[in-house]
């Protein structure tokens, strides 16, 4: 059995569910937090998964929504049950609102060395539309507090917000660069079924951005961040040299990982499992000594190989023929040669006989590429 060297901890609590969000979370249920920490402890202790970790990622939800004493308890739970390699990446997602010195001190003292801030926009109108609980004025002081304790900070930004203009998006990019992050993730807003945005669009009370405008915004991110010295190493990810997100690269390179908490996924020995997305169901089953796994799938060799290819193509380095053969025990040309040639003719894929990777046009049409290969 593979021994994962990466772990993900899902903290499902938020002050509010934003209209576009379909993540596993509960809002207004802070009463569940202590029980969550009890259950998380049990789940980790029952899972003999990891020796030493190269990456540990705490996401959500909003991990920093926990009260200071609860956040400190979470850090102690993880410190007592995981051993981190000397050069491990220890990331924590955080929202600007309520991110005071006390919580940042807890994270720093626990050994966290990378903070991923859910900024989303530097425009107050956009933040209002996105239903965020911070405004532009709060961002500078918040980022300064982070900078005082952490040398590695990442910002999340969203484009194609309803009503957002290209000029406003460009201003957000420039505002972010002035604050000197090491890493930026830029995401085009999507309307997911089950979210309030999905319902509002169907009622006509909110309008999705035009595809051509979304295209121009993504192109602006690529060009602006590249000119500022960032390398685009994945479809949505840009980093200064030496600051790529190590944890996310585990996912994209098909390496094993273990997830804990409601909705968390694991991938070990070509088996994908996912915990119950309902926080209360996950809590009940875990505290009762039952497995909280809701889905489990053993990937067949062809499916695993295709998934390895598609995930690898998210990275701008692409997938080498030799790495593909070594990881999957399959020949890339035999598995997907026809589809790759067709997409090369369409200008979506570049193939130099050593490696396949997306072209710039392919970056914009990755969903099309993925559908062809899966």
Structural domain contains residue 274: no
Task: Provide the angle, in degrees to the nearest 10, between the axes of the packed helices 33-46 and 279-287.
Answer: 50
For residues 81 and 217, state if they share a domain. yes
pLDDT in tens for each of the 374 residues of the chain? 678 999 999 999 999 899 899 899 999 999 999 999 999 999 999 986 667 999 999 999 999 999 999 999 999 999 999 999 999 999 999 999 989 999 999 999 999 999 999 999 999 999 999 999 999 999 999 999 999 999 999 999 999 999 999 999 999 999 999 999 999 999 999 999 999 999 999 999 999 999 999 999 999 999 999 999 999 999 999 999 999 999 999 999 999 999 999 999 999 999 999 999 999 999 999 999 999 999 999 999 999 999 999 999 999 999 999 999 999 999 999 999 999 999 999 999 999 989 999 999 999 999 999 999 98
Of the residues 216, 236, 252, which one is the last residue of a structural domain? 252
| Among 215, 245, 250, residue whose Cα is nearest residue 230 | 245
For residues 313 and 237, state if they share a domain. no
For residues 10 and 127, state if they share a domain. yes
Domain holding 156: CATH number?
Answer: 3.20.20.70
Specify the pLDDT at position 34: 97
Helix-, strand-, coil-residue percentages of the chain, each rounded to 5: 45, 25, 30
Q: How far is CA 85 from CA 111, 114, 152, 244, in A?
A: 11, 15, 17, 18
For residues 237 and 91, state if they share a domain. yes
Paired strand residues for 183: 154, 239
For residues 343 and 243, state if they share a domain. no
Q: Distance between CA atoms of 53 and 85, rounded to whole angstroms?
A: 6
For residues 246 and 323, state if they share a domain. no
* Sheet strands (E) in the chain: 6-11, 13-14, 26-27, 52-60, 83-94, 114-120, 153-159, 183-188, 231-234, 237-239, 258-260, 265-268, 271-275, 293-298, 319-320, 349-351, 355-358
Structural domain contains residue 153: yes
Q: How far is CA 163 from CA 22, 150, 200, 206, in A?
A: 21, 34, 14, 9
Q: In degrees, to the nearest 5, what angle opens at C-alpha 34 toward C-alphas 33 and 39?
A: 95
Exposed, middle or buried by CB within 10 Å (0-12, 13-18, 19+), for 346? middle
Specify the pLDDT at position 51: 72
For residues 241 and 317, state if they share a domain. no
Domain holding 306: CATH number?
Answer: 1.10.10.920
Of the residues 227, 252, 277, which one is the last residue of a structural domain? 252
Q: Distance between CA atoms of 317 and 249, rounded to whole angstroms?
A: 11
Structural domain contains residue 265: no
For residues 193 and 312, state if they share a domain. no
At 216, list the tokens. 């121009």
Structural domain contains residue 279: no
Structural domain contains residue 138: yes
DSSP string, 64-131: GGS-HHHHHHHHHHHHHH-EEEEEEEEEEEE-STT--HHHHHHHHHTT--EEEEEEE-S-HHHHHHTT
Quick check: pTM over 0.85?
Answer: yes
For residues 247 and 137, state if they share a domain. yes
Specify the pLDDT at position 1: 60
Structural domain contains residue 369: yes
Structural domain contains residue 130: yes
Specify the pLDDT at position 353: 87
For residues 89 and 193, state if they share a domain. yes
For residues 59 and 201, state if they share a domain. yes
Structural domain contains residue 36: yes
Residue numbers of the domain that contains 86: 6-252
Q: How many domains does the chain have?
A: 2
Question: Is residue 35 within 8 Å of 21, Cβ to Cβ?
Answer: no
Radius of gyration of the chain (CA): 21
Specify the pLDDT at position 48: 63
Q: In degrees, to the nearest 5, what angle opens at C-alpha 360 toward C-alphas 355 and 366?
A: 80
Q: In degrees, to the nearest 5, what angle opens at C-alpha 147 toward C-alphas 142 and 149?
A: 110
| Among 259, 232, 221, 200, residue whose Cα is nearest residue 314 | 232
For residues 99 and 214, state if they share a domain. yes
Which phi and psi angles does 83 have, rounded to 5°?
Answer: -110, 125
């Amino acid at each position: 059995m593979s021994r994962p060297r990466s772990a993900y901890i899902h903290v499902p609590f938020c002050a509010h569910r934003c209209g576009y969000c379909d993540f596993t979370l509960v809002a207004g249920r802070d009463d569940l937090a202590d029980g969550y920490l009890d259950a998380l402890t049990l789940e980790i202790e029952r899972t003999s998964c990891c020796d030493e970790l190269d990456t540990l990622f705490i996401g959500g939800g909003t991990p920093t929504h926990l009260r200071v004493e609860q956040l400190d308890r979470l850090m102690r739970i993880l410190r007592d049950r995981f051993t981190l390699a000397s050069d491990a990446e220890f990331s924590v997602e955080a929202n600007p609102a309520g991110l005071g010195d006390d919580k940042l001190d807890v994270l720093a003292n626990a050994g966290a060395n990378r903070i991923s801030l859910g900024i989303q926009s530097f425009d107050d109108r956009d933040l209002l539309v996105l239903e965020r609980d911070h405004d532009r004025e709060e961002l500078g002081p918040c980022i300064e507090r982070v900078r005082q304790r952490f040398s590695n900070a990442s910002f999340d930004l969203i484009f194609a917000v309803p009503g957002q203009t290209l000029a406003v998006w460009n201003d957000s990019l420039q505002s972010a660069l002035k604050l000197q992050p090491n890493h930026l993730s830029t995401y085009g807003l999507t309307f997911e079924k089950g979210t309030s945005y999905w319902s509002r669009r169907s009622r006509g009370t909110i309008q999705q951005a035009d595809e051509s405008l979304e295209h121009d915004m993504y192109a602006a991110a690529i060009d602006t961040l590249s000119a500022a010295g960032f390398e685009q190493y994945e479809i949505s990810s840009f980093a200064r040299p030496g600051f790529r997100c190590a944890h996310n690269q585990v996912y994209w390179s098909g390496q094993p990982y273990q997830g804990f908490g409601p909705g968390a996924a694991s991938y070990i020995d070509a088996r994908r499992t996912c915990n119950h997305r309902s926080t209360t169901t996950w809590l009940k089953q875990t505290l009762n000594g039952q497995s909280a796994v809701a889905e489990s799938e053993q990937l067949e060799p062809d499916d695993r190989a295709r998934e390895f290819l598609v995930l690898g193509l998210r990275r701008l380095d692409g997938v080498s023929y030799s790495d593909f053969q070594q990881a999957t025990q399959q020949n890339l040309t035999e598995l997907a040669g026809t589809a790759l040639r067709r997409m090369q003719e369409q200008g979506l894929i570049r193939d130099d006989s050593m490696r396949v990777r997306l072209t710039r046009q392919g970056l914009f049409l990755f969903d099309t590429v993925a559908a062809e290969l899966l």
